Amino acid sequence: MTGKKIILLDVDGTLVDYHGQLPASAADAVKRAIANGHEVFMCTGRARAEVQQELWDLGLDGLIGGNGNYIEHHGEAVLHNSLSEEDCRAIVDWCHERGHEFYLEANAGLFASENFREAARPVMTIYAARKGKPAPAAGETGFHGMVYGQPLVRDDVMKISYILDSIEDHEAAKKAFPNLQHGTWGGRGAEALFGDIGVYGITKAHAVEALLEHLGADKADAIAFGDATVDIPMFEASGYAVAMGDASQDVKDAADHITTDVEEDGIANAFKHLGLI
């Protein structure tokens, strides 16, 4: 591929492994791509508070966070959507009434419900096992930037994730809050582990389109990398899509190229294949 490209990297399972470790080969590839004149952005479900400094130290040009609720370019907030305080309160009350442990996703941090730590660890163990990875260490959940014991109604929350007992919980949430955006993650369909609720109409695709407009770039200039179903809208909004080796089959089906796993130099191999480095 020739010319300057806008490279959009999902984070978990793509740029870093499922325990947040950044492969040296990925770090080197990103730095070399930036040196070659390409712009590199994270495009992730994470809020800004969840992004470790190690990733910013790569020299990244910016971030699409909260699955599209937040866009940052060279330190400037280009877009920032958040739930109203009233919607946040209603979702928190709904989760409490149904017994769902949950966390609020804001750029200031992840604000966890009362028993989230205990409830999340077995769920994240399942998540890691599906990816062929070891479970989180004892006492850990695998989430970066988690805060406990803070108020659970805020006006800066981009979305709220809650632990599913079954996929019927996701359907119940859609009925309870038809004016909001609903998704699941951690598995496809009935295998999903978490539901999330956010601002209506916001997806990674929406944010990619807004970012490209801000940059004055075309869809053909964008190359998206991902491993999960939530990344497919990002693929559709980009000119070229790369699935990681351990991506789910629906992601591979939507991709133009399939690289190796994140731990097997997937980013570096794809960057070389595409002539970015």
- 28: domain CATH number is 3.40.50.1000
Q: What is the edge-to-edge ordering of all strands in the sheet holding 70-73?
A: 76-80, 70-73, 62-65, 39-43, 6-9, 222-226, 240-243, 257-258
Contacts of 244 (CB under 8 A, 6+ apart): 13, 14, 225, 226, 227, 258, 259, 260, 261, 262, 266
Find the helix or strand (DSSP H, E) in which 103 lies: strand 102-106
Q: Are residues 101 and 39 in the same domain?
A: no
Instruction: Mention every residue, 6+ apart, whose C-beta is less than 8 A from residue 129.
Output: 135
Widest pairwise Cα distance in the chain: 55
Q: Is residue 108 part of a domain?
A: yes
What pLDDT is recorded for position 140? Answer: 66
DSSP state of 59: T
Task: Note the pLDDT of residue 219.
Answer: 97
Q: Which of 164, 198, 232 is the last residue of a domain?
A: 198
- Bridge partner list, 106: 109, 157
Q: Are residues 91 and 183 in the same domain?
A: yes
What is the structure's pLDDT at 138? 57
Domain that holds residue 134: 85-198
Please name the helix (run of DSSP H) or strand (run of DSSP E) that holds residue 76, with its range, or none. strand 76-80
Number of domains in the chain: 2
Strand-pair category, 70-73 with 102-106: unpaired
Q: Answer whether residue 1 is part of any domain.
A: no
Same domain, yes or no, for 54 and 22? yes
Distance CA 223, CA 221 (A): 7
Question: Residue 221 has what pLDDT?
Answer: 96
Is residue 10 situated within a structural domain?
yes
Is there a single domain that holds both residue 73 and residue 157? no
Q: Are strands 181-185 and 157-163 parallel, antiparallel or unpaired?
A: unpaired
Last residue of a domain, one of 149, 177, 198: 198
Query: Based on the domain organization, do 52 and 72 belong to the same domain?
Result: yes
d(CA 197, CA 210) in angstroms, rounded, equals 21
In this structure, the answer to whether residues 68 and 121 fall within a common structural domain is no
What is the pTM for the complete model shown?
Answer: 0.85
Cα distance between residue 130 and residue 110, in whole Å? 24
Residues 89 and 35 both lie in one domain: no
Give the pLDDT score at 114.
95
- β-bridge pairing 146-147 and 222-226: unpaired
Please list, residue by residue across 156-167, b when 16 or more beta carbons sit within 10 angstroms of its beta carbon and e when fewer do: bbbbbbbbbeee
What is the domain-level CATH number for residue 119?
3.30.1240.10
- Contact between 199 and 158 under an 8 Å Cβ cutoff? The reply is yes
* Closest among 242, 239, 184, 237 to 206, alpha carbons compared: 237
Say yes or no: 145 and 230 in one domain: no
Domain assignment present for 131: yes
From first to last of its 277 residues, the chain has per-residue pLDDT tens of: 668 999 999 998 899 987 788 999 999 999 999 999 999 999 998 889 889 999 999 999 999 998 899 999 999 999 999 999 999 999 999 999 999 999 999 999 999 999 999 999 899 888 778 766 666 665 566 677 789 999 999 999 999 999 999 999 999 999 999 999 998 888 777 789 999 999 998 889 999 999 999 999 999 999 999 998 889 999 999 999 999 998 989 999 999 999 999 999 999 999 999 999 9
Sign of CA dihedral 184, 180, 237, 22: negative
Which of 198, 227, 254 is the last residue in one of the domains?
A: 198
Residues 73 and 144 in one domain: no
Q: Are 73 and 174 contained in the same domain? A: no
Residue 268: helix, strand or coil by DSSP?
Answer: helix
